[in-house]
Amino acid sequence: MTASETTTTADLIVEGATLDGATVDVVVRDGRIAALGPGAAGGVTAPERIAAAGGLITPPFTEPHSHPDKALSRRSIGPLGLPARLTERPALMQRQRDLKATFTRDEVAGRAGAFLRLAASQGVGTVAGQADIDTVTGLTSFEGVMDAREAHADLVELRVTAFPQEGLVQDPGAYDLVAAALAAGAHRVGGWPNNERSFEDQLTHLDQVFELAERFGVGIDINVDYFTDPTERLLEPLAERTVAHGMQGLVNANHVGALETYPDDDARRVIAKVAEAGIVVTVCPSNLGGSYPYRGVSRANELLAAGVTVAAGTGNLQDNWEPFGNLDPMDTARMAWHAFPLSDEDDRGVATAWQLVTGHAARAAGVPYGELRAGGRADFTVLAATTLTDALRNEPGPRRLVRGGRVVAGRAGELWTAPAPAGTR
């Protein structure tokens, strides 16, 4: 290939996309962005072209909180003869134990793989996923998720958290299982300290999570103060331990619903400590229902105002806890716009909602947020929507995920149609 051919041929071209308010072309060669800018594709040929028609181009979305080992397992509740309609937490917990006791490595890998393919079709390039590790499922769920991760590495980057759902104190043996998962490649250590039986055991759980994080040199992805219950008070000791262990910026806290119920003075004190500790808070807007007490969306606006990075994720998907979900970041962002609420911020609220599933979500997952630039890796998502507001409206249209310079997944555009009455236009 001659020098002139090198500059006039490419592997993929995106024409007429919207980036930061400007119309640009993107030229991809050898897995990297060779050129980016207005008219950059002029005179360049490629075997594959995307006519963006003004659609937004963005680094791939990030799903910051999910459970791929449990995803799509709800369909097994009936065949296993488990109770179908439950709302109270103890009964839901027992049904989850009964479900995961039947999990096999291959079955988990199959469901987790379908979960990752769904994520990719929505333009998600990185998923932070927790895998249960306890004496009920052992390492089965973790190993199945890791198998799915390897099989789908070209589609999605899956960051796996070793998650002791049943506790570390009340589930003897879980600590060693979590350590084994971390030794086998888990990216972060998780926890749910509120699930322990006493406050002293809850603090021990926290301490063991930090001990494991330091031992294996990993970050922390912890579920804390799950419910809108004012007696749940572990966010503050989490922040204090984060500073004491020098782990600022390395801790993601999920749910944090109890913060909603604190007296305002207590909430301000705790939020200031969370900000000092550099803890990212990830909430799930769909958690406004489905269990009692509901899990809420924390004090998201107050956290944001204090400088805390707040992300929004899916949480559970078609499993014991949640019958719905489609992993679409635009649905998550729109629900957050309503739930926080961000509506009083007008257009700024839409931009904030977008950040919850892009840059902020990447921080929550513990990965850098990519920048689209010439010379950078060609990882991006192309949407049909031309503005952030239209993106959150989630109107029909194609969406494509590009990773390493190849279109690896996406969804086809469909039109909403209905016959117009005679005589109308």
Tens digits of residue pLDDT in 127-137: 999 999 999 99
Q: Taking Cα atoms as reference points, which of 122, 134, 112 lies closest to residue 66?
A: 112
Q: CB within 8 A of 169, min separation 6: which ones?
A: 196, 197, 201, 204, 205, 208
The pLDDT tens digits of the residues spanning 250-302 come to: 999 999 999 999 999 999 999 999 999 999 999 999 877 555 566 789 999 99
Tell me, which fold does domain 3-59+371-411 have in CATH? Urease, subunit C; domain 1 (2.30.40)
Q: Cα separation of 378 and 373, whole Å?
A: 9
The pLDDT tens digits of the residues spanning 205-217 come to: 999 999 999 999 9
Lowest mean pLDDT among 62-76, 85-99, 130-144, 159-173: 85-99
Q: Starting from the edge strand earliest in sequence, which strands make up the sheet with 22-29, in order?
A: 32-37, 22-29, 12-19, 48-51
**Tokens coding 129:** 């996923």
Check for a shared fold between 3-59+371-411 and 61-365.
no
Whether domain 61-365 has CATH 3.20.20.140: the reply is: yes
pLDDT at 2 (0 to 100): 31
Q: Cα separation of 198 and 54, whole Å?
A: 56
> Per-residue pLDDT for 7 more than 80?
no
Give the β-pairing of 12-19 and 22-29. antiparallel
Q: Cα separation of 323 and 339, whole Å?
A: 19
pTM over 0.85: yes
Q: Cα separation of 365 and 336, whole Å?
A: 18
- Domain positions in the chain are 3-59+371-411, 61-365
Alpha carbon separation from 93 to 84, 87, 99, 165, 284 (Å, rounded):
13, 10, 10, 10, 19
| Mean pLDDT computed over every residue of the chain | 93
